[in-house]
Amino acid sequence: MTGPFDDMFGNTPFDLNHDGHIDGGEWAFINDTLFSDDSSADIDEEDELEDELDMAGLDRDELEMMNPDERREALEDAGLDADDFDDFDF
């Protein structure tokens, strides 16, 4: 029995088990790969910036208490590009 997506995606790299049929798991993979929205991009970028702060030994709470000039200096002293953190929510 063939499914609705077998003609479109069967025998392609999306057919992960190479059986010529697209099952539910393979369809989920296709859906995530081709049709996912990128709404989590902002969260990921903020997580990356927070990881950079942690690796540089800076505490977000302490940076939040600083005025913008002090914060910029602390980021630069830690070897970070302060401009990358302009939109960061302190």
Domain span at residue 21 reads: 6-35
Query: Domain check: are 49 and 29 in the same one?
Result: no
Region 8-18: what's the mean pLDDT?
79
Query: Domain check: are 46 and 63 in the same one?
Result: yes
The per-residue pLDDT for 72 is 94
Q: Which of 43, 37, 38, 40 is nearest to 89 (CA)?
A: 43
Helices (H), 23-67: 24-35, 41-55, 60-65
User: Is residue 55 predicted with pLDDT exceeding 80?
Assistant: yes
User: Is residue 38 predicted with pLDDT exceeding 70?
Assistant: no
Query: Domain check: are 29 and 45 in the same one?
Result: no
Query: Domain check: are 52 and 75 in the same one?
Result: yes
Looking at the domain assignment, is residue 25 inside a domain? yes
Q: Where residue 62 falls among pLDDT bands split at 50, 70, 90? A: very high
Q: How many domains does the chain have?
A: 2
Decide: pTM greater than 0.75: no
